[in-house]
Amino acid sequence: GKAPLRVAITGASGQIGYQLLFRIASGDMLGKDQPVILQCLELPGAMNALKGVSMELDDCAFPLLKGIVQSDNPEVAFEGADYALLVGAKPRSKGMERGDLLAANAQIFSVQGKALDKTANRDTLRVLVVGNPANTNALIAARNAPNIDPKRFSAMTRLDHNRGLAQLSQKANCSVTDITDFCIWGNHSATQYPDITSTKISGKSISNYISDNAWIKDNFIPTVQQRGAAIIAARGLSSAASAASAAIDHMRDWTYGTNGQWTSMAVFSDGSYGADKGLYFSYPVICKNGQYEIVQGLKLDQFSKERFDVTNKELISERDAIAHLLP
């Protein structure tokens, strides 16, 4: 059989971690023939909860699960890691300013970037930042890991992408797999731009199925942008199982490819389409041979350009707010 791969997960005993660990251990992320070792990082105060989660993982008797590391030390949790899912982050507390939130997370992701640089497997590593503000946290982690290719870092907009697919499939009364060439641009925040300009359903322009432009502008786009808040309003808790599912999709597709289809990933910007270079910016990507490529050659109309600029500006302002903390 295959040698086990090492998968580090931070915030492992939190809401998303609790969904994620079991799906990774059951083979949903890396395949039903790929053994894994889970390397869990938590805050010291959550180590007891993590122990309970680890006991439950044992109790599943997953054939692919070859070990569980439990640590509050990032250098230990990231030791030899082939994958790192950075889920744990500082949540916004009451009265906290945006700048304070960015700074608190800059602290966490600086430490974790340095630890990845020191102990992870630099030649195989794939990093997905889920903890918010995810794009800027990815930037901070990558900048603190000078010996790791910045293309090995990414942030999650796959949940936004999947939310968009679900809304479109319900409106057009088709299967999510019939929908192609849809993407999310920019930040994982309310400024993200879910773009249907190139989208096709069963190979034909989406306008054949959804001709109502007002629905796209006034319903679809805000619904996808505000979905996180709608889940909190309904459930009293933020998205967790769907976030974990999107993280699984992201890592699986990055590793095994998308068969020529688009997905959305926030990746190191090379300046494509005018996004600021070096930001972690969500683009349409195609994954193959274990790598992603930003889809090139698309034409952004006036409406799309305006929305693109808003989310680009927001990411620049997030970066500027923590610029003094970057190495």
Active site residues: 188
Stretch that binds ligand NAX, among 37-45, 54-62, 207-215, 254-262 (CB under 6 A): 37-45
Binding of ligand NAX by 174 (CB under 6 A): no
**Cα separation of 224 and 219, whole Å?**
9
Helix (H) or strand (E) holding 245: helix 241-256
- Only segment of 145-153, 161-169, 236-244, 291-299 that touches ligand NAX (CB under 6 A): 236-244
**Residues touching ligand NAX: how many (CB under 6 A)?**
29
183 binds ligand NAX (CB under 6 A): no
Q: Is residue 297 a known part of a binding site?
A: no
| Close Cβ partners of 284 (under 8 Å, ≥ 6 residues apart) | 181, 183, 185, 262, 263, 264, 294, 295, 298
Cβ-contact 35, 47 below 8 angstroms? no
User: Has 45 been labeled as part of a binding site?
Assistant: no
**In the complex, minimum distance from the CB of residue 268 to ligand NAX, in angstroms, rounded to a whole number:** 17
Looking at residues 51 to 110 of the shown chain, list those that interact with ligand NAX (rule: CB under 6 A): 87-91, 108
What is the helix (H) or strand (E) element at residue 222, kind and residue range? Answer: helix 221-225
Which CB sits closer to ligand NAX, 64 or 84? Answer: 84
In the bound state with ligand NAX, the residue whose beta carbon lies nearer, of 41 and 168, is: 41
Strands 200-201 and 179-180: antiparallel
Tokens of 285: 């990507």
Other beta carbons less than 10 A from residue 279's beta carbon: 23
134 touching ligand NAX, by CB under 6 A: yes
Nearer to ligand NAX, 35 or 133 (CB): 133
Least distance in Å: CB of 164 to ligand NAX? 12
- 67 annotated ligand-binding residue: no
**Least gap, CB of 158 to ligand NAX (angstroms):** 7
Contacts (CB under 6 A) with ligand NAX, residues 237-266 = 238-240, 243
CB contact at 8 A, 126 and 83? yes
Of all residues in the shown chain, the one whose CB is closest to ligand NAX is: 14
Give the one residue of 10, 154, 245, 269 binding ligand NAX; rule: CB under 6 A. Answer: 10
Consult the annotation and say whether 12 binds a ligand.
Answer: yes
Instruction: Say if residues 150 and 116 touch (Cβ distance below 8 Å).
Output: no
Please say whether the beta carbons of 179 and 199 come within 8 A: yes
- Distance in Å, CB of 157 to ligand NAX, minimum: 7
Q: Which of 31, 35, 33, 7 is nearest to 21 (CA)?
A: 7
Cα separation values, 277 from 62, 156, 160, 235, 274, Å = 43, 18, 23, 38, 8
Separation of alpha carbons 253 and 255, rounded Å: 5
| Residue 179 DSSP SS3 | strand
Question: Which of 110, 132, 245, 255: binder of ligand NAX (CB under 6 A)?
Answer: 132
Binding residues for substrate: 92, 98, 132, 163
Q: List residues near ligand NAX by CB under 6 A.
A: 10-11, 13-17, 41-43, 46, 87-91, 108, 130-132, 134, 156, 159, 188, 228, 238-240, 243
Binding residues for NAD(+): 11-17, 105, 130-132
Binding residues: 11-17, 92, 98, 105, 130-132, 163
